[in-house]
Amino acid sequence: MFGITHSEESILNSWYLEIDRKLLAMILLLIVIGAITMVTAGSAEAARMGYPWFYFIKKAFVPYSIGLLCLFGFSMFNKRQIIRISVVGLIIGIVALLFTFVHPIRINGSLRWVSVGGLRFMPADILKPFFIIITAWFLSYMHKIYGADIFLNKNAWKAGWKTWWPYLIVFLICAGLVFKHPDVGTAALYFGVLFVMLFVAGFPWKFVPVMFGVVAALAATAITFMPHIRSRAAHIFDIVPRTQAWYSVNSIKHGGLFGSGDEAFVKDVLPESTNDFVYASIAEDWGAIGACALVILLFFVLNNLIKHATTARDDFVVYALAGATALFGGQICFNLMTALHLVVDKGMTLPFISYGGVSFITFCILFGMVLALVREDTWNN
């Protein structure tokens, strides 16, 4: 294709020949769908907010540009470079997370925001790809030291730097800070991703009840000591008129089977129609057929990740892909269930589709790393 052959030695040619072009094409298609939705739903939301119709298009130019550069740039790195970058990213993310308790910025009742150069972002979002890469590296490193059984080996639990304790202490501190913001949804997502990666690394099934007990304890703590969580949990099955959930469900209903087209007016008053409830906007514009087609596309991306994870030769790549699959799939489930009013709104974006800003950049970084690791594992091993 395009006359490129293996005899050509340029880095760009090698990248093109070795990259998973199918996965890259699906990601770019998702980005295009997100951009189209930002124009259709964003113009209505901007008008409702009193801004020009192109407000979100103009605002998205910088994060979309940075995100695409990260997607292609990170996909050209090798494993060693990705690990080093992730160490730096993890440190910066943790410092930013701690900074939210020194100089917090409150948005919608949450203190989880940081502002840099006028750009507001959540450190918990930025940490996601670096957390997955460092966790994957740690698990593969533990296997090299302690062999196949890294969970029941007593030496792996002794005090020391090359044991479980340094990692678990840092993780629990960060997860606790996210939980305290309060951001229960993101904390639950982090725990879910970690659990998946641990299972892939050989976590014993007999401890599964213990994990469910930890999850239940965290949920009980959130409901007991966080009034807003208790209030939302009490009304999870109620659809109060003129609330976000009410508008979202009605927007989906109004779309019907083939979409409302120019008559799609419910999303005009739907809060967060380009972000948390973007799926409801898509369902109203494109109908159930278009909304289901989007879900199928997201499923194909997940299937591609799982396929690469099951065929990878490097344990580190297996764990990294497992974490990426868990994060991507988990955030999709959170967002779609929010739009359908099956869970309370936790501010989870739909990857590559929601406007998101920094969230979009985060997933571009993650999938840039995924493409790079798959490329190196396929061709260099």
- Concatenated DSSP letters of 286-320: HHHHHHHHHHHHHHHHHHHHHHHHHH-SSHHHHHH
Cα(327)–Cα(194) distance, integer angstroms: 9
Mean pLDDT within 193-214: 86
| Run of H or E residues at 351 | none
Confidence at residue 21, expressed as pLDDT on a 0 to 100 scale = 93
Confidence at residue 241, expressed as pLDDT on a 0 to 100 scale = 64
Cα(267)–Cα(244) distance, integer angstroms: 11
Cα(285)–Cα(296) distance, integer angstroms: 17
Distances (CA, A) of 318 to 152, 227, 373: 21, 40, 10
Distances (CA, A) of 126 to 107, 362, 364: 17, 6, 11
Q: Which position has the higher pLDDT, 172 or 321?
A: 321
3-state DSSP call for residue 108?
A: coil
Q: Tally the residues of the chain.
A: 381
Cα(7)–Cα(265) distance, integer angstroms: 56
Cα(338)–Cα(55) distance, integer angstroms: 25
| Phi, psi values for residue 112, rounded to 5° | -95, 15
Mean pLDDT within 182-211: 86
Confidence at residue 240, expressed as pLDDT on a 0 to 100 scale = 62
pTM for the whole thing? 0.89
3-state DSSP call for residue 360?
A: helix
Buried b (16+ CB within 10 A) or exposed e, 133-159: bbbbbbbbebbeebeeebbebeebeee
pLDDT in tens, 278-289: 888 888 888 899
What are the extents of the domains in the chain? 11-379
Q: For the residues of 218-249, what is the DSSP string, one character each? A: HHHHHHHH-HHHHHHHHTTT---TTSHHHHHH
The alpha carbon of residue 354 and the mean position of all alpha carbons in its chain are separated, in whole angstroms, by 11
Contact of 223 with 233, CB cutoff 8 Å? yes
Cα(64)–Cα(360) distance, integer angstroms: 7
End-to-end CA distance of the chain: 25
3-state DSSP call for residue 51?
A: coil
| Residue recorded with tokens 């009742």 | 109
Q: Which position has the higher pLDDT, 85 or 271?
A: 85
pLDDT in tens, 77-91: 999 999 999 999 999
Confidence at residue 1, expressed as pLDDT on a 0 to 100 scale = 37
Contact of 357 with 70, CB cutoff 8 Å? no
